[in-house]
């Protein structure tokens, strides 16, 4: 019940974030979505994700408010509205058609098929010695995924540094 209320709140906040003209209010609405997501993780008993979501949301809000809100935003409001609306309706229809066939095949919410995961839960403490099962999985059984994620973050930081440095140099000339 609380989860459904939270989901409704998040949908409303997301709609507000898209529709509001003022940029600062829009950023704060995005923050409300993030807070709702963090609470949803807490209700679903995932405190690791809740902590991470909360702190990353705070960092994103600070970066958005402090570093990028004064930049000009080139918004295109007129022209091609027919093409935009038609393509939006087309993709919504496609999504609904595929969802009609695909969604009944999914396992029920909260009851996943546990073949590999059951092994992790049974032997996680004995094999790794870590009492936090999430840490045992992401840093021992599934370290390849964590390595990939770390590589993604490294590449993202390098990309931001490279792109912004280039803009700075052009402005100097």
Partner 1 sequence: MKNKKEVGMTLIVKTITRLTVGLILLYGIYIVLHGHVSPGGGFAGGVIIALSFIHLMLAFGKEAALKKLSQAASSILESLGALMFLSIALLGFLGGYFFFNFFLHKGTPFALFSAGIIPLCNIAISLKVGAGLFAIFAVLILFKSR
Q: Which residues bind partner 1 (CB under 8 A)?
A: 47-48, 50-52, 55-56, 58-59, 62-63, 66-68, 70, 125, 127-132, 134-136, 138-140, 143-144, 146-147, 150-151, 153-154, 156-157, 160-161, 164-165, 167-168, 171-172
At its nearest, how many Å lie between partner 1 and the CB of residue 110? 20
The DSSP code sequence of 90-130 is: HHHHHHHHHHHHHGGGSPPTT----SHHHHHHHHHHHHH--
What distances in angstroms separate CA 122 from CA 53, 74, 172, one per listed residue?
Answer: 27, 54, 60
Task: Write the DSSP symbol of residue 69.
Answer: T
Which residue's CB is nearer to partner 1, number 62 or number 117?
A: 62
Q: Kindly tell me which of 111 and 171 has the beta carbon lying closer to partner 1.
A: 171
Token output for 52? 């991470």
Nearer to partner 1 by Cβ, of 107 and 129: the residue is: 129
Q: Which CB atom, from 118 or from 165, has the smaller least distance to partner 1?
A: 165
| Shortest Å distance, C-beta 59 to partner 1 | 6
HSE of 62, CA atoms in CB hemisphere, 13 A: 6
Spatial distance between the Cα atoms of 74 and 88, rounded to a whole number of angstroms? 21
CB of 169 to partner 1, least distance (A): 10
Work out how close the CB of 38 gets to partner 1 at its nearest, in angstroms, rounded to a whole number.
11
């Amino acid at each position: 019940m609380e989860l459904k209320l939270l989901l409704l709140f998040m949908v409303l906040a997301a709609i507000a974030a898209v529709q509001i003209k003022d940029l600062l209010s829009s950023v704060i609405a995005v923050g409300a979505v993030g807070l709702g997501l963090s609470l949803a993780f807490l209700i679903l008993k995932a405190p690791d994700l809740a902590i991470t979501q909360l702190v990353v949301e705070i960092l994103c809000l600070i970066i958005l408010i402090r570093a990028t809100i004064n930049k000009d935003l080139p918004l295109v409001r007129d022209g091609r509205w027919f093409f935009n609306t038609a393509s939006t309706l087309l993709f919504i229809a496609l999504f609904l058609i595929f969802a009609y066939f695909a969604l009944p095949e999914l396992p029920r919410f909260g009851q996943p098929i546990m073949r590999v995961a059951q092994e992790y839960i049974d032997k996680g403490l004995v094999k790794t010695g870590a009492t936090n099962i999430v840490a045992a999985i992401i840093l021992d059984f599934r370290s390849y995924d964590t390595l990939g994620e770390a590589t993604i973050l490294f590449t993202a930081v390098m990309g931001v540094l490279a792109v912004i440095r280039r803009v700075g140099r052009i402005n100097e000339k």
